[in-house]
Amino acid sequence: MKRYLGRKLAIYALTFFLAVTIDWMIPRFMPGNPVQTMLSRVSLRAEAVDALRGYYTRAFGLDVPVWQQYLNFWRAVFQGDLGVSIYLFPKRVSSILMEAVPYSIALLLPAILLSWLAGNKFGAFAARRKWLDNTLLPVGYLLTATPYMWLGVLLAWAFGIVLDVFPIAGAYSFQMSPHLSWAFIKDLLWHWFLPFASLFLVMFGGWAIGMRNMIIYELEADYSKYLESLGAPARLIRKYAFRNAMLPQITGLALQLGVIAVGAIVTEIVFSYPGIGHLLMQAIQNQDYFLIQGCFLFIIMGVLLANFAVDILYIIVDPRTRRGMVGES
């Protein structure tokens, strides 16, 4: 287990190191001058220009050598100092991001977990059941092939505009202010439902299809054939097949995390849901480079943490990893 976990942690550490390095490199070595662009964006406010120019000379520090700029960037990252936003001046990038994180998590965590559980159950149930299988196959593939943003737009149009039962923008009604009351929580859930549903549906299709394919492979495996020849009931064989098929599905969950994160970004954009994705779009449109960098860093950290959580799950589910029988990946 130690070896397995150690290997994983080494990969995550290396990934984090590379991601921060890229995050630092891109504004510095890409064509164009982000500092000038940023300064020209706030040219209307004199006090902002002064404060920012001072900040930029320190942050991009042309007076210190490149290696020192790099070390300074690392120190800033560890201190949680991601600079000041231009678009929401003079708020700090880190505090803006912290406000957005709960919304992204509230959307992603239930969508990932529920779609994974429901998709696996349904996929396992549908496999090798003639008409259900033949329905699941095209529908499931169509769902996974659907761009996240398009399903979002479609749901917003159908339930928000045509049927007019759900709101299509924001996290709560704009005449309300965040406070703890039943009315507010109900309003929050009401706004949460459509973006959640569109994320859920796209992922559900993927998990159901994945499970269906795995079950069919497992039912053809030697141990299934052996059980069958012993006269074991089909339900028992399916149960074993399901357990074996779970492992690749857990690995699949880890592999999909990056795609899911980006799916959440575009879903938030469609519904103007105030999470990291919506923030990233605002940052890109306003060329707020510190905010873009911060969003990227947060997305990376989120994906790494989620990957780690999946690893723990894998260790719990698969005893071989605990006894060091699976050294590989």
Partner 1 sequence: MAGPTKEKGPKNEFLYFAFRNWKLRLGLFVTVSFLVVALVGPFITKFDPWGYVGRPAEPPSATHWFGTTFFGQDVFSQFVHGLGPLFLVGALGGALATLIGTAIGFTAGYRGGAVDEVLNMLTNVVLVIPTLALLLLIAAYLKVRSFLMEAVFIGCTAWPWTARAVRAQTLSLRTREFVDLARISGMKPGKIVVTEIAPNMLSYLVMVFILQFGGAILNAATLDFIGLGPTTGISLGLMMNYAVMWGALPLKIWWWFIPPGLAIALIVGALYITNVGLDEVFNPKLREK
Binding site for partner 1 (CB under 8 A): 11-12, 14-15, 18-19, 22-23, 26-27, 30-32, 34, 128, 137-138, 141-142, 144-151, 153-154, 156-157, 160-161, 168, 213, 216-217, 220, 255, 257-259, 261-262, 265-266, 269-270, 280-281, 284-285, 289, 292-293, 296, 299-300, 303-304, 307, 329
If the CB atoms of residues 11 and 232 are measured against partner 1, the closer one turns out to be 11
Neighbouring residues of 138: CB distance < 8 A, sequence distance ≥ 6: none
Among residues 31 and 178, whose Cβ is nearest to partner 1? 31
Of 46 and 128, nearer to partner 1 (C-beta) is 128
Q: Give the C-alpha separation, 66 to 35, whole Å.
A: 16
For the bound state, the minimum distance from the C-beta of residue 30 to partner 1, rounded and expressed in Å, comes to 4
Report residue 80: phi and psi, to 5°: 75, 20
Question: Pick from 242, 264, 2, 294: which is nearest to 121 by CA?
Answer: 242
The smaller minimum CB distance to partner 1, of residues 149 and 247, is found at: 149
Instruction: Report in angstroms how near the CB of residue 152 gets to partner 1 at its nearest.
Output: 9
The structure tokens 């992204």 sit at 104
φ/ψ of residue 326, rounded to 5? -115, 95
Closest approach, Cβ 150 to partner 1, in A, equals 3
- The least CB distance from residue 196 to partner 1, in Å, is 18
Amino acid type, 296: F
Query: In terms of CB distance, is 31 or 231 closer to partner 1?
Result: 31
| Whole-number Cα distances in Å, 253 to 116, 117, 247, 278, 320 | 8, 11, 10, 24, 19
**Distance of closest approach, residue 50 Cβ to partner 1, in angstroms:** 25
